[in-house]
Chain A
Amino acid sequence: MLKGFKRLFAFPAALGLVHSSLAEEQGAERWGVNMRQGVTEVAQSTYDLHMLIFWICVAIGVLVFGVMFYSMWRHRKSRGYKAAQFHESTIVELVWTIIPTLILIGMAVPATKTLYDIYDTEEADIDIMVTGYQWKWKYDYLGSDVSFFSNLSTPRTQIDNRQPKSEHYLLEVDEPLVIPVNKKVRFLLTANDVIHSWWVPELAVKKDAIPGFINEAWARVDEPGIYRGQCAELCGKDHGFMPIVVKAVPEAEYNAWLSERAEAAAKMKALTEKTFTFDELFARGEQVYNRTCAACHQPNGQGVPGAFPAIAGSKIATGPLEGHLNIVIYGSKVNPAMQAFGQQLSEVDLAAVITYQRNAFGNDMGDTVQPVDILNFKNQQ
């Protein structure tokens, strides 16, 4: 315990040295004992507040435990000490009621100020909608068509100890949230299913994402870098496996990235209106299938008996199109493992993967599904 305290004393100084250039390494430091200072003004004042209260507690602790240990050492019967019999003193009681009250007021002032800063979400430069899903995050850049899911990218083999763990084990995603530095970014948080909580320690942002409600938070990051966080509210089975990665980049880089993503989104939109040939759909569908579906249904379409049904010869994949569209777009009613892919894949990818499933693995249905079919199906529901 004492050793722990010593580490706490030494830590802030050490942290000051590495702070600016090594923001990334900070998080990965072993034996880390203290809150990270962070990369926003709010994070800094939160950190200062934390250290202030910590030192006040240390001071009170030294005093109280000092008196206590002193009397445990001096006032022992085995040393022949005779007990005094006093048991009351109004003055003393008043003193140790009033002084703590004053200390508390001293703490409340900076705390209130920081809280006002945190709550000041007005006049943001950029708005990003953050939606919690079981068990991934979705980011929508409001005012543009850019929108994507961010999933854990640590492979299952590492989690199951079949492969050595990588440096950012469980704190890495397929697509990070990209934001510009020195801009006020406002996050609008909500959730699709249960309550999640979006937390990035270095941004000092932790806010619950609640289904049916929209919460607000903001950050203005000073330094380019990669900042990692996690879902903080228990949200079911894979609560520990939905990390957050924020990539803060210079403004120019951000603008380039955003227009590239917007272009891709526009292209995707145009594709939705296009009519594809069977071969195009089948080829694209194979890729989508292998990327998104094969983990469960297997690359050869045979599934895993008892857990994931085969697509080859499946009643649904060789039955009426309606049923097939329904389970892929809206998910299974009975088994949540088969999720609703309607929001996760584009219309083009949905059309492609369904076409693929109906014609691969010897299913040979011969029909094609176009992106507009998907749109129409979604609209009539």
Chain B
Amino acid sequence: MAHGPQSGFKRWLFTTNHKDIGSMYLWFSFAMFLLGGCMALVIRAELFEPGLQIVQPEFFNQMTTMHGLIMVFGAVMPAFVGLANWMIPMMIGAPDMALPRMNNWSFWILPFAFAMLFSTLFMEGGAPNFGWTFYAPLSTEYAPPSTTFFIFSIHIMGASSIMGAINIIATILNMRAPGMTLMKMPLFVWTWLITAYLLIAVMPVLAGVVTMMLMDIHFGTSFFNAAGGGDPVLFQHVFWFFGHPEVYIMILPAFGIVSTIIPTFARKPLFGYSSMVYATASIAFLSFIVWAHHMFTVGMPIAGELFFMYATMLIAVPTGVKVFNWVTTMFRGAMTFETPMLFAVAFVILFTIGGFSGLMLAIAPADFQYHDTYFVVAHFHYVLVPGAIFSITAGVYYWLPKWTGNMYNETMGKVHFWLAFIGLNLTFFPMHFVGLAGMPRRIPDYALQFADFNQISSIGAFLFGAAQIVFLFNVVRTVMGGKKATDEVWDNPQGLEWTVPSPAPYHTFSTPPAVR
């Protein structure tokens, strides 16, 4: 029997409702986004000018490390899980997630993991300072004592992700409404299904590598210590076997969101639905055999070098298919540019630019010049900020009226978009230049010829930060009230989520809908 939410904090602590849990994931990830963003601003403030002004190198390294960890594990991944929680049951006509209690648990261990990670900043010796990629032996023999807490928090985050992934797979495979065949599923559901498999495959590898570190630090093993017969390069192979699929974990759901939004505002069905599904699956497969392109300079034999170069170049093919499909969907549509569409279009443009620099990085001999420079920083911020962050933002604007029953303020949404768009390009585009001109990444101070572009980057970063305040304000206002949204919200959007009232009632699809 359907009943409403409990009252007070118990509603949130004990909830098994996919909508409540989705909301908690989203708010948590936004909080982490602001926290990680503040750390990025510390970095950009220090890099505003040559010389050391604001922080010392020790603290600078802690900031780059924590910024990366918090953004990847605290902001982007939980945001996608939040969207999955909210939307997957409503998109496939299910009443809730398949494993609601585990759902509660996989959310609630996250705040503890991040509280532990954050607390390392106040420990003796400071927070982890070896970069989010934590290469051994810098992260083992030469690491601060807080590394042990970092390892445990990674374990917890991994457990949370694995539980979330199991839940999503179980939901999608078992709870689709009758008639919702696999090839009728919305692309967001498809991309999440594939992402969930990636998560299950690689999060244990991450847990394994941090456990090996733990053993090296505390129990005298020498997995990564050459003096004891171990191999520091082994660390990198294991880490990137996790790390490369991880970057697709952060982008595949984004593909799903954009593939949902563009057809709505182009008023035209998505071009090449089935090729989108196949392209996603091939990208996921390829993501397992390209990891060492992050390690072209470690001195692999040339055969390995060539294999990883060719495999990496191949990824351009399915990724290209996706971009061409989005552009063709827009072609001869009847487009309007509300905020979700603006973010989705910016996604296509900027993600493609990030894809181009990715292709350049794939070319091993050229990568010898790009590797570990700001060119790489520019590349992965182009795929992650306009990739993951813009698509999440687009998704929030797109579904917010469905969640809250109110329309957000369109003008404020557009202000947010343009501030973010300009800020982002000012921040990250010049990084291509300084990287090519020879500036290594992860340095707190730099030679004089890099000064001008770094100044522009820093200004852009603060602009991008300011844009997020507008976003927060707009969302809070929409949650509190505003113009009532219709059930359809947009102009004839596709998908079951638009067949339920706005705001979506606490329980939807208690009886399965009919799927045409």
Contacts and interface: CB of A to CB of B under 8 A. Distances in A.
Contact of A239 (B232, B359, B425, B443): B443
B438 interface: yes
B466 interface: no
Given A161-B52, A206-B371, A238-B57, A64 B324 contact: yes
A322 B445 CA distance: 40
Contacts of A241: 57, 445
A9 interface: no
A6 to B, nearest CB: 12
Given A35-B436, A114-B365, A232-B372, A208 B360 contact: no
Contacts of B437: 29, 32-36
A93 B365 CA distance: 31
Nearest to A30: B449
B349 interface: yes
Chain B contact surface mostly = helix
B445 A67 contact: no
Interface stretch (A189-197, A300-308, A323-331, A345-353): A189-197
A86 to B, nearest CB: 7
A64 B327 contact: yes
Contacts of A115: 302, 305-306, 309, 364-365
A46 B449 contact: no
B116 interface: no
B232 A49 contact: no
A210 B442 contact: no
Interface residues of A, number: 99
Interface in A65-96: 65, 67-68, 71-72, 75-78, 81-89, 92-93, 96
Contact of B372 (A42, A76, A194, A233): A233
Nearest to A112: B306
Contacts of A7: 433
Nearest to B451: A30
B330 A87 contact: no
Given A211-B226, A232-B371, A84 B332 contact: yes
Interface stretch (A162-170, A246-254, A309-317, A355-363): A162-170
A21 B446 CA distance: 25
Contacts of B226: 210-213
Given A46-B369, A119-B302, A211-B226, A85 B269 contact: yes
Interface string A201-220: 10011111011110110000
Contacts of B95: none
Nearest to A42: B365
B498 to A, nearest CB: 18
B330 A72 contact: yes
Interface string A11-37: 000000000000000011111111110
Contacts of B53: 161
Q: Which of B58, B332, B349, B366 has the most CB of A within 10 A?
A: B366
B345 A72 contact: yes
Given A194-B137, A213-B226, A240-B446, A234 B61 contact: yes
Interface in A137-169: 158-161, 165, 167-169
Interface stretch (B187-195, B313-321, B471-479, B500-508): B313-321
Contacts of A215: 298-299
Nearest to B230: A212
Which applies to chain A's interface (DSSP): helix, strand, loop or mixed? mixed
A229 B438 contact: yes
Contact of A201 (B51, B57, B129, B438): B438
Contacts of B447: 28, 168-171
A331 to B, nearest CB: 14
B20 to A, nearest CB: 36
Contacts of A267: none
A108 B310 contact: yes
Nearest to A77: B334
B440 to A, nearest CB: 5
Contacts of A201: 369, 438
A159 B52 CA distance: 6
B366 A49 contact: yes
A127 B239 CA distance: 33
A375 interface: no
Contacts of B275: 93
B130 A61 contact: no
B440 A230 contact: yes
Interface in B448-474: 448-449, 451-453
A96 B353 contact: no
A234 B442 CA distance: 7
A237 interface: yes
A167 B449 CA distance: 9
A236 interface: yes
B334 A75 contact: yes
B145 interface: no
Contact of B430 (A4, A83, A158): A4
Contacts of B368: 46, 118, 204-206
Nearest to B137: A194
A57 B359 contact: yes
Given A33-B437, A101-B317, A77 B267 contact: yes
B446 A104 contact: no
A283 interface: no
Contacts of A233: 135, 372
B444 interface: yes
A118 B365 contact: yes
A53 interface: yes
Given A31-B452, A46-B365, A65 B51 contact: no
Contacts of A134: 142
Contacts of A93: 272, 275, 321
B50 interface: yes
B363 A107 contact: yes
B270 interface: yes
Given A75-B330, A77-B335, A104-B313, A53 B360 contact: yes
Contact of A50 (B138, B369, B430, B451): B369
A234 B138 contact: yes
Contact of A234 (B135, B432, B438): B135
A274 B314 CA distance: 66
B50 A165 contact: yes
Given A204-B369, A233-B372, A239-B443, A75 B138 contact: no
19 contacts: A4-B430, A32-B436, A34-B433, A34-B436, A49-B363, A53-B360, A65-B349, A68-B348, A76-B334, A88-B271, A96-B324, A115-B306, A115-B309, A159-B51, A170-B50, A193-B137, A205-B368, A206-B369, A239-B443
Given A50-B366, A68-B327, A241-B445, 12 more contacts: A46-B368, A75-B331, A78-B336, A81-B335, A84-B268, A84-B333, A87-B271, A108-B313, A165-B51, A165-B448, A215-B299, A240-B443
Q: Which 8 A-B pairs have the closest CB atoms?
A: A212-B226, A240-B443, A32-B437, A215-B299, A57-B356, A83-B334, A33-B433, A87-B269
